[in-house]
Structure 1
Amino acid sequence: MAGVGKLLKQAQKMQKQMQAIQDELAERVFEVSSGGGAVEIQITGQGEFKGLKIDPEFLKEDAEFVEETLLGAIQEAAQKAKDESEEAMSALTGGMGGFPGLM
């Protein structure tokens, strides 16, 4: 049964490392710019939006264009956060997808 104990310790160690990575991702803020800098979004590595800046001149554009640009910027920011999170977790798990039930 020594193998099971060793496996459990490894799983606990990995869980602590995952928590540390998640804490770090919560603190990291990424900036995404769209529309030639007309829209800037700040998002954490865990996908929490922290800021939104819109150039006032950009708001004078056609409403549909503004909406499309904003949506594109939001989607890009969300994808950036997801990619950073997956990359950090993949580095920890060695690309094996983690352990079911621990993530």
Structure 2
Amino acid sequence: MNINPFELMKNAKDLQAHFGKMQEEIAALRVQGVSGGGLVKVTLSGTFDMIKIELDPIAVDNRDIQMLQDLIRSAHTDAVEKIKETLKEKVGPLAALAGGMPS
């Protein structure tokens, strides 16, 4: 097997460009998690930053703050799971080219 170092460098540069583009796409990604049948919605970026929380006024009850906290936590968890799944779909094939997906 004859390995061409120039071809390896070209492939590495191509892979680096793909990773750079992928990082931009991930940063621009927006995913919404929902709980309580839509009473609480949490929007996260692809880098897991919380962008927005939406609360239906019905969900805000001074007598049951614990329920609201649970709904927010549940919507956040839903959004995180959606991002993880999206990242697997987007990054998985590219990571396989680079020698495997990190665990």
TM over 0.5: yes
Matched, 1:13 2:25: no
Number of residue pairs aligned between Structure 1 and Structure 2: 98
Alignment of 1:1-80 (within 5 A): 3-60=4-61, 62-80=64-82
Structure-2 separation of matches of 1:8 and 1:86:
26
Greater helix content = 2
Are the equivalent residues in 2 in contact too, given 1:22–1:46 (CA < 8 A)?
no
**Where in structure 2 are there 5+ consecutive unaligned residues?**
none
Deviations 1:50-100 (CA, angstroms, capped at 9, x unpaired) = 11111122011622222222111111111211221221011324xx27348
Residue 2 of structure 1 deviates from its aligned partner by 5.0
Unpaired stretches in structure 1, ≥5 consecutive residues: none
TM-score normalised by L of structure 2: 0.78
Structure 2 residue identity aligned to 1:78:
V
Question: Which AA in structure 2 matches 1:67?
Answer: Q
Secondary structure of the 2:4 match is helix
8 Å contact from structure 1 (residues 34, 72) kept in 2: yes
Aligned position for 2:89: 87
How far does the alpha carbon of each residue in 1:13-45 deviate from its partner, in whole angstroms, 9 at most, with x for none?
Answer: 112101101101211212222111111111122
Match of residue 98 from structure 2: 98
Q: Between the two proteins, what is the percent identity of the paired residues? A: 22
Q: 2:22–2:91: 8 Å Cα contact kept in structure 1?
A: yes
